[in-house]
Amino acid sequence: MSSKLRIGALGNSKILQRFIQTPEMSVSGSIDIIATRSNESALAASESYPNKKVLVGYETLLERKDLDAIYVCLPTGLHFEWAKKVLEAGKHVLVEKPAVLSAQEARTLDEIAGAKKLVLMEAWWYRFHPLVQSLRQLIASDAIGTIKHISSSFSYINSDPNDSRWQPELGGGALYDMFSYHIDFLNYVMQIRNQDIYLIQAFSSLRYGVDASISAELITNKGAVCNFMAGLNRPSLCKTFILGEKGSIEVPQLRIMPEFGEVSYAHHSHSGVRTMGFPTANAYSLMLDAFALACLKNTESPVKPEDTIANTELLERIKAARDE
C-alpha cells in the first residue's frame, strides 16, 4: 500500500463533490477513479471531474489493483450490496450514510470486514467537526447534568421527483436520509443508544411512497424525552436544544457544512451563558483523512461498525412505530 490511500468512488452522486476538490482536500487519501453505471453517466462524471479517470460499470472498480479502498456513494438501497462486494474484493470501504437498511445487513458487513481485517466505515462526516467534538466532551463531562430533554429538526426541500430519496426501492425517504442524523447524534454525542430507549412514538407524511417528513418522540430508560423531526419537504434551521438538570445547550445549526463558515453553540449554566465559537472547518476533509489513516495504519475504523448496528436497530424500531 502506498503512503497515500488510493480510493475509488462507486457512483457519481452529488455528495462526491464534497470529496473531490482542487487543491486536494486530504493529505492522506485521494479519490482517483470514479465508476459509473452507464456511458451517459460516465460522460457527466468526466465533465465534472476532468482530471479523474472514469470507468463504466461498477464491477470494473472492484478489479483495480491500483486502488486500496472504495467510497460507496450510491443510493442508500444499493449500499449493502456493493459494500459487501467491495469487502469481498479485499478493499477497505467508506460507505455513505446510512450505510444499510437493516441491522442484519450491518452485522453481515461487520463480520466480513473483521474476517478480512479491513476498515469498514460509515461516512458520518459531521462527527469530525470541532464543534461536535466539543459538544461530545461537554456532555461527557456532566457539565449540564442528567439529560431531561433533547429536541432537534433536520430538513430541507428536495423538489426533484427523480431523486433517489423519493424512490422506495432505493431506500428513499426522510427516515433514512435525514432522521438518521438524529439517531447518530444520540449515539455519538449523547451516548444514548438503542438499548437505552424504552418508548417510541412516530408518525409521518408520505409522498411517492416514502416519508416526506417524519416526527418521533423517544423516551429513554432514565426518563429523558427526545423530540425529533426530519423532512424532505420543508425548510429547517436544523436547530438542536439539549436540557439537563444543571444547564442547557443551544446549537443554532448542527448541519455544519464548510460553506457555513464560523459556527457556535451556547452553553447555559448557573454561571451564565458561555458561547463556544469555532472557525471554518471542513468536516468532510477531516473524515476522509481519518478514514485514510485508519486504512494505512491498519487501525480500527473511526466510526465503529457497532455504532452502525445500534443506529440501524433503533431506526428499525422507529419505522415499526411509524407503521403501527
Q: Residues 278-319: pLDDT tens digits?
A: 999 999 999 999 999 999 999 999 999 999 999 999 999 999
Helix or strand (DSSP H, E) at 1: none
Which residue, 108, 124, 140, sits at the end of a domain?
124
Q: Please report the pLDDT score of residue 255 as a whole number.
A: 83
pTM of the prediction?
Answer: 0.95
97 inside domain: yes
Find the domain containing 143 and state its range.
Answer: 126-284+312-323
Of 75, 106, 124, the position where a domain reaches its end is 124
* pLDDT in the model for residue 22: 57
Residue 302 lies in a domain: no
CATH number of the domain that residue 139 is part of: 3.30.360.10
Domain boundary among 84, 105, 124: 124
pLDDT value, residue 27: 79
Report residue 45: phi and psi, to 5°. Answer: -65, -40
CB under 8 Å, gap of 24 or more: what pairs does 284-287 form?
284/18, 284/19, 284/25, 284/125, 284/258, 285/25, 285/26, 285/258, 286/125, 286/128, 286/129, 287/123, 287/124, 287/125, 287/127, 287/128
Residues in the chain predicted with pLDDT less than 50, given as ranges, are none
Is residue 297 one of the residues assigned to a domain?
A: no
Q: Look at residue 281 in the predicted model and tell me its pLDDT.
A: 94
Would 294 be classed as within a structural domain? no
Residue 253 domain-assigned (yes or no): yes
Query: What pLDDT, on a 0 to 100 scale, did the predictor assign at position 2?
Result: 62
CA 107 vs CA 87, 257, 277, 306: distances in Å: 13, 30, 38, 8
Nearest one of 300, 323, 316 to 100, comparing CA atoms: 316
Indicate whether 77 and 47 sit together in one domain. Answer: yes
